Structure formats: structure tokens, C-alpha cells
Amino acid sequence: MQEYTGEKIRNVAIVGHGGSGTTSLTEALLYRSGAINRMCKVEDGQTTTDYEPEEIKRGVSVNATLAPVEWNGTKINFIDTPGFADFVAEVKGAFRAVDSALIVVCATSGVQVGTEQCWKLAEEAGLPRFIFVNKMDRENANFDSILGNLRGKFGKKVLPLQLPLGKEADFNGVIDLYKMKAYKANGNGNTEIEIPEEYREAAEAAREQMIEAAVEVDEELMMMYLEGEEISQEDIMKCLIKGIRQAQIFPMLCGSAYKNIGIGRVMDLLIDYTYPAILNDFVVTNKTTGEEEVRDAGAPMAALVFKTTSDPFVGRLSFVRVFSGEIRGDSTVWNSRREQAEGIGKVFTMRGKTQIPMKRIVAGDIGVIAKLQYTATGDTLCDKNNEVEFPVIEFPLPMYTRAIVPKKKGDEDKIMNALNRLMDEDPTIIVTKNTVTKETLISGMGDQHIEIILERMKRKFGVEALLKAPQIEYKETIRASAEVEGKHKKQSGGHGQYGHVKVMIEPMAPGSGYEFVDKIFGGAVPRQYIPAVDKGMQECLLEGPLSGAPVVDIRVTLLDGSYHPVDSSEMAFKMAASIAFKKAMEKCKPVLLEPIYNLNVTCADSMMGDVIGDLNTKRGRVLGMQSIEDGMSVVSAQVPYAEIAEYAVDLRAITQGLGTFEMKFDHYEDVPANIAKKIVEAKAAE
């Protein structure tokens, strides 16, 4: 691959709902440009960008994969991204590296859940959006119907720049409305022809709509158009570019990835209607002044690491987008976030898993650096004498948690080492240790995400683990008071054992914990033994009588007791306290407590009834509903954690993947008697 300057580079993320054909389109773009000499299908497991075993096994993209092509003297860095919601972090990272998004829509399915998610993420990232209607050769493919569908979801800014030539099985090319020419497929290419007569009227009407939409972005040209003046091709192009860049126009293209129809025109339009990567300004924080600055490609070197992965043979690979300056091989850069110097060895780009050497990564380009010691996803590489930092990449919080246990005893350290390496690659993985249940917990975006993490652990690090539902942190408390005695008396040869206490045990307010009150007068229990009574009680609190869960929110008052001058000891008084505690728990109406979480669910207004109905079946209390923008609402509720441990999976099913949620622990409440009975019986059986 030859060297390109920033003026001749474009960066485009290919996104869409799973199954819309993002990977197939990427494969077709690679083939059409001559980057590969054979076009493979996803089902065959041999596509350039789906090369990981986990992707081949499932037939879906899991990673954002770089796929640079050369077309008409321009380098286009395509990034093929996953369409499944569990891997949204890959899309968010890619969106920070590119300058536009190519959203793939199936010609038969239209706008789907993943389409809307990608659109929203691209909107948040401020990216111009192109729409490619794929699979136009399929039965029931209908361009006009999809246009109506897109405009219904995303507004009238969706503007066709092409029309299909032929329909369904007879689809064989595209009509370019700007050039008013048809391009008929002829193998790995196309032939320019005049627009067939039967399509001319529709093409002229669509072109008129295109010109109307274009001149709306320029008042002077709009006035000329309304006065009946001819608008030049050059002015139409300038207006289209301006409208696309300012998100006033979303161009709609069409074709078939499998049949390699319309693919070259996609690259032509991406080059023609987008600005070169080098012309895009960017925002950084100046670490010397602490102020935000808008910079351009001529500023000192600044690059963002938008993705990290581990290669078993090469080691850690850092994918970088250089915004200004350049990164050369065999140089040194400064990681401003870690405040560490990083030595650069070789720099290269990657097409799928294939490395392509580069001498340098120039401003506007995307490249890969191997074996950076300190750098992780989201870090900024810059000139040490001009320290800057890019805004952090805001990844979504993980929503699905499992307990992870080694398949073989003694592999705990290996598992933690592997997970730490995988967390470097994927910021949406969080690993924690629950000090109460002693479990190691792994949290991710969903069940498939966690399953793939385990498969990668086995493949990359040779360690196997099992998943199970995390234990729920039940607690116990009391609802009544009792005054009890505990006497421990044992006689054997030599010294015996004697301890005797009289205590009051009573409930306290939720969250109070444990309190010990000493009301001994006259030395009924000698001072040196009182701490032993307190300690004996605290040890008993670790395992309650119902389920073995910790006991909380109780006050123990030591009222009276007696001792033996020879046989009494700290151990005897600890035993007496334990006896008193067990007696008291029989009288104090012990209850089981469960954790209650605040749950905020964001969903479409049309799905709110289903979400609320589901929460009601989960013993949830709906606290309120609030409408937010774009027909979305937030449902706030309090729900027992036991009912929402699998909520990521449940919500996806209810909302077809469109719903998201956040949850946070709030307080403990009594478990209903019928459910508590089952928990106690299960614990007893265990």
C-alpha cells in the first residue's frame, strides 16, 4: 500500500443491525477495490473482517475490524463494526476514529433495532451519515418502501442520491441522480449507460427533489432556484457536501453486497461527498492550561487510541487515529493520561488480521502500534512538549453479571491475569470480588458478551472457567426484643469452664448495623470478660439462624451475669454469649432481608406498558415515568435484585434490544414470607 497524505484519506465506520450485511458489504468493498482477489461469504467463515474463531462460530461480528482500501487515488479506512447490542463498545470506539458513518439497511427488513441504535450513536458522535440499502436483489426488496420507512424514523432529511436499476432478481445496477447516468453491473465493475426510458421520469423527479434539498442549505442559491435560475452541477455538489457535513442531508444509496452491485459507486460517493480527514478540526484539553482547545492537523502530534487487542504472537496491539502531526516507526511518544513515555517500534495498518507495513501514520490516518507498555483504550499519545488529552471515550456501563469459577482448582490466579488482559481490550468488562459471598464477579453487556469472554480466555490464555448465577446477598434481622440468659458450664478433670450472661437483644433502625451496650454493675461479670461477650455476639452475627446470612441492625445489652473465680475464662463467656444469642433469635421474630435496587429503564413510549407489566411480575414498585426526547421514556422502579439478575436478557426480549437500563443498590427489605420459606428450605437442603 502506497503512502497517502491526509487530503487523500477518508475514515468510515460501517454499521447496522446484525444481519443487514455490514461484513458482506465490507468484503465487497475490499474485492471491488482490488484489496482482495476473492470475495467470501459470512456463512463460509472466511471473510476478511470476521476472522476470530468466536465470529466464525456464530456468524456475527464481535470486533470492530480495520479494512483499508485504495480507490481512485484515495485511501479509505473502513471499520466493519458489530451489529449486536452486546458489542456496542466496539462501535463507540470506532466512532471516535472516523469522520462519517455508512449505515447499512436491509432492503426487505428496513429499519431495525440495531439501525436505530447506530443512528443514535452516530448522532451523539456528530458524524455525517450515509445510508446503504443492501440486498436489493432479494425477493420483496422495495426501495420506495424502505425510503418511506427511513423517513418515518429519521425524518425527511433522508435523501436518495441513487435509484435502483431493475427490481428483486432483475436488479442489475444503480442510477446516479447527480450525474443522471445509469451504471449497470458487469462482474467486478460497471458500465456507464444512459438512463433507460422507463426510469427517466422517476429519475428526473428524484433529481429535482435532490436539488431542492441541496439548495436549502444555501439561502442565495435557494433564492436563485425559486426564481427559476439554473443551478450549476458544481454548486449542487457544494451544497450536498455542506448539507451532509451539517447533518441536514442523509444520502441514501443502494446495491447488493453479495452480487457486487453498486459497490464502486459507494466509494465514489464517499470520496466525493465527504471532506478529507485532515480538514476536520478536533477538541483537546491543553494539560498545561487545563483549557479546551480546537486544533487542526497542523498542530503538534496528537493521536487517540480507540481500540486495543491482544495477539497471541505479536502481543498488545493499539489502534490509533492520528489527528495532528505524525507517528513514525522507531520514535518515542508521550502518553499524557498515564504520564509515561512509550517507545514506538514498527507502525503498520491491518486489513482484517493481515498486517501491512507503514513508515509513518500521518494526520488523518489510522494505524496500529504493537507492544505499547502502558497504553490502553482511550489514552492520548502526544508530543511531550505540548501535552494534550482527548475527551474520554464514554463506554456504556455493563448490565449483566455472572460469578466466574475456575474449571480446575488452582487456576484462580491464571483467570485473574487473563481477565485483566481482556479488560485492557474491552472497557465494558468489569471484574470485582464480592467480599461477602467470596465470589469473583464478571460484568459485561449481555450473556453473549460474557460467553465470548470465556471463549477468548481459553483460546488466548489457555485457562477455562465456568459461569454461575451470583449469590444474592441476603441478610437477616429481628422484629422483636427478648431478654435471655446464656450459661456455659462444663466440668472435667482440673479446671472447668464457667460463663454466665443475661442480655437484652432488640432491633434497631435499618442500616444501624450492630451495637453493644455494657450495663454491668458491681462486677457481676468481670471487666476483662466483657469484650469476650461482645466478640462472641459478633461471631454469631456472621451466620443467622434462617439462611446463614449475616444478621444486621441489632443492639445487644449486657445486663447481668455471674462468674467463677477459677473456671471462668474469655472462651467460656464467648460460649455463654453464643448460647444467649441462639435463644434470643428464637424469640425475636427473625426475618430474611433482600437487597432492593433502584432501576431506571429507558425505552420507546410504545414499549412502556410491556416494561411496566414485566416489572410488576418481578415484584417491582414503579415510582414514576418521565418522557424524554424522540419518543423515549424512562421508567423508574424499585425491584428486588433476586428478580433482575437476568434483566439484561429479559429487557432485550421485551424491547427487541432497544431498551437500556441502569441499576443501583438502594436498601434492604423483608423478603415476603412465602418466598423466604423457599429460600430457608433450599439453604437447609444444601
Express each pLDDT in 17-68 by its tens digit. Answer: 988 999 999 999 999 999 999 998 888 889 999 988 888 888 889 999 999 9
Cell 466525493 -> residue? 272
Categorize the per-residue pLDDT at 619 as very low, low, confident or very high, splitting at 50, 70 and 90.
very high
pLDDT for 647: 92
Which H or E element spans position 36?
A: none
Contact (Cβ atoms closer than 8 angstroms) between residue 414 and residue 459: no
What mean pLDDT do residues 421-445 have?
A: 88
Q: What b-and-e string marks burial along 432-466, b requiring 16 or more CB atoms within 10 Å of the CB?
A: eeeeeeebbbbbbbbbbbbbbbbbbbeebbebebe
- The three-class DSSP label of residue 379 is coil
**Would strands 430-433 and 65-71 be described as parallel, antiparallel, or unpaired?**
unpaired
494: pLDDT strictly greater than 70: no
User: CA 199 to CA 110: how far, in whole Å?
Assistant: 23
pLDDT: is 610 or 683 the higher one?
A: 610
What mean pLDDT do residues 655-670 have?
A: 88
Categorize the per-residue pLDDT at 493 as very low, low, confident or very high, splitting at 50, 70 and 90.
low
77: pLDDT strictly greater than 80: yes
Phi (first) and psi of residue 10, to 5 degrees = -125, 145
Q: E strands of 605-686, at which residues?
A: 621-627, 632-640, 660-670
Categorize the per-residue pLDDT at 629 as very low, low, confident or very high, splitting at 50, 70 and 90.
confident
311: pLDDT strictly greater than 80: no
pLDDT: is 511 or 366 the higher one?
A: 366
657: pLDDT strictly greater than 80: no
Which H or E element spans position 290?
A: none
Pick from 519, 495, 515, 498: which is nearest to 506 by CA?
515
pLDDT for 678: 92
Pick from 391, 388, 175: which is nearest to 265 by CA?
175
Pick from 208, 240, 235, 202: which is nearest to 220 by CA?
235
Categorize the per-residue pLDDT at 128 as very low, low, confident or very high, splitting at 50, 70 and 90.
very high
What mean pLDDT do residues 100-116 have?
A: 93
Cell 420506495 -> residue? 144
What pTM does this model have? 0.86
User: CA 139 to CA 136: how far, in whole Å?
Assistant: 8
